[in-house]
Amino acid sequence: NITILVFDETFDNNQIGCGTGGVILSRFDLRIIKPPVLLQNSTPIAIIEGDPFSFYIEQTEGFPIVPDDYEWSFDGTPISEGGSNPNISIYPVIIFTNVNRTDSGNYSITVSNEGGTSTGFFILNVLYAPEGVPQTGPFYVVTGDDITITAYTNIDGNPNPTSIWTKDNSPVTDNGRFNTSVPGQLTITTVISSDAGNYTNTLTNGVLISINNTIDLLVSIPPSMPRSVTVVGDPEAESVVLSWLNPSDLGSPVFNQFNVSIYTTTEGISNITRQVTPNNTIDTDYNNIVTINGLKPNIQYTVTIIAISYVEQLGEVPSEPSDEVVFNTSSGAPDFLSTNLTNVNGNLSVIWYFRHTGGVELETVTVDCEEVDEYDSSGDNPLSTIVYCTSMSDCDG
């Protein structure tokens, strides 16, 4: 027997032999039981989704080497043994047959022996190619407006994808009018006609393949305003004839309608809007002539005209209004409403009602009455000739 009175580190991992006559008959090793110490791996380990992966955590110190107990955890949740992905059946190795993006996270293993407990960990970062829901075009916009072109929504990828835009195969860069800061989107402010074209968005992050989607941008150009609006001749009491030239710029698509607006500040008089289909949309100098009815006599009106292109996705694309033209309708004739004839003591009483639609004062209206011949029952012999009145002053109303 041998007794070591002060057993310290100097005896750890030493071998003691025993024998007689210089012959070693028996040997044994001396070890100090120590808690395990595991190597920490703070740098994330990157692996592409779908690839196999295995990892073991190295034990740098401790005795016994093989622990009495160990447990793997993923983001703090224990991992059961015998799973297909990951497979942790062999200490201290964790095995993935094919990694998935959901496998990204913090993995730790806790080991223990007679000397104590220790924990080691590593970080798994699963990389995968860009993804997104492609959007379809074309997109439509009117010159002067702003628009956001969306090529992809629900963009994903690890690392985060970079969004690259081209127009007709030429790079698009951020400037005063173009903004590509949101992945999958391109915002253009104050659109001009030359912005029309094919815009391609490419999403890339250096992992496997990139994806791209092309969107067509169609720019609608409003027609210019109608020109040389003129009142033809003298306006009637209830109508006016207007003429005007086509726009000098027919628009894109070419205009297909005029809106004629006639309005007045006279209280109680309604404004009028008429839609006019042009007879010629090719010749910029074509003279349009249209009669507008439904006006009121003796009223001052103002007329403006706009040309309109129609785009199904945008609706009406109007021009600027034409220059204003002011005109006055003429006075109208009195408007008879009803006439009532009655027999009063053998005399014929005639009462009529009329209104002055032309705005003429009542005192200036002359009422002429026809001569009426009365006949006997046979209808052949006149009995008398009656003149009722010749002017308003001869009548009592």
> What DSSP assignment string belongs to 367-397?
-----EEEE-TTSSSEEEEE---SSGGGS--
Question: Rounded CA gap, 65 and 62, in Å?
Answer: 6
Contact in structure between 288 and 281 (CB atoms under 8 Å): no
Whether the predicted model's global pTM rises above the 0.85 cut = no
Q: Count other C-beta atoms under 10 Å from residue 185's C-beta.
A: 19
Task: Work out the percent of the chain whose per-residue pLDDT is above 90.
Answer: 52
Higher-scoring residue by pLDDT: 383, 84: 84
pLDDT at 165 over 50: yes
Average pLDDT over every residue of 169-183: 93
Please tell me the least confidently modeled range out of 45-49, 207-211, 301-305, 382-386.
382-386
| Structure token pair of residue 171 | 């790079």
Higher-scoring residue by pLDDT: 86, 302: 302
**Most confident stretch, 42-51, 346-355, 380-389:** 42-51
pLDDT at 354 over 70: no
Q: pLDDT band at residue 357, thresholds of 50, 70 and 90?
A: low
**SS3 category, 11:** helix
pLDDT, tens digit (0-9, with 9 covering 90-100), for 237-268 = 889 999 999 999 999 999 999 999 999 998 88
Question: Rounded CA gap, 296 and 238, in Å?
Answer: 5
Average pLDDT over every residue of 277-293: 94
Q: What is the dihedral of CA 99, 100, 106, 110, to 10 degrees?
A: -50
Identify the pLDDT of residue 200.
Answer: 98
Average pLDDT over every residue of 166-174: 94
Identify the pLDDT of residue 396.
Answer: 43
Question: Rounded CA gap, 161 and 184, in Å?
Answer: 10
Which residues face 73 on adjacent strands?
78, 108
Average pLDDT over every residue of 30-47: 84
Question: Rounded CA gap, 48 and 51, in Å?
Answer: 6
Q: Count other C-beta atoms under 10 Å from residue 268's C-beta.
A: 6
Identify the pLDDT of residue 29.
Answer: 82
What are the φ and ψ backbone dihedral angles of 116, each rounded to 5 degrees? 150, -160
pLDDT at 322 over 90: yes
Task: List, in order, residues 6 or more apart from 102 with CB less than 8 Å away.
Answer: 126
Higher-scoring residue by pLDDT: 147, 16: 147
Identify the pLDDT of residue 331.
Answer: 80
| Structure token pair of residue 16 | 């003691």
Average pLDDT over the chain reads 85
**Most confident stretch, 57-71, 89-103, 219-233, 349-363:** 219-233
Identify the pLDDT of residue 367.
Answer: 57
Question: Rounded CA gap, 182 and 180, in Å?
Answer: 6
Task: Work out the percent of the chain whose per-residue pLDDT is above 70.
Answer: 84
Q: pLDDT band at residue 156, thresholds of 50, 70 and 90?
A: very high
**How many separate helices (H) and strands (E) can be counted in the chain?**
0, 33
Identify the pLDDT of residue 245.
Answer: 97
Question: Rounded CA gap, 80 and 88, in Å?
Answer: 8
* Residue 27 CA, distance from chain mean position: 85
pLDDT at 9 over 60: yes
What are the φ and ψ backbone dihedral angles of 299, each rounded to 5 degrees? -125, 140
Q: Count other C-beta atoms under 10 Å from residue 397's C-beta.
A: 6
Identify the pLDDT of residue 18.
Answer: 86
Beta strand pairing call for 45-48 and 116-134: parallel
Closest residue by Cα to residue 96 from 84, 107, 106, 104: 84
Q: pLDDT band at residue 207, thresholds of 50, 70 and 90?
A: confident
Report CA torsion sign: 79, 83, 88, 90.
positive
Average pLDDT over every residue of 295-324: 93
Identify the pLDDT of residue 94.
Answer: 87
Average pLDDT over every residue of 4-18: 82
| Structure token pair of residue 279 | 């007879």
The angle subtended at Cα 353 by Cα 349 and Cα 355, nearest 5°, is: 155
Q: pLDDT band at residue 164, thresholds of 50, 70 and 90?
A: very high
Higher-scoring residue by pLDDT: 37, 89: 37
pLDDT at 123 over 90: yes
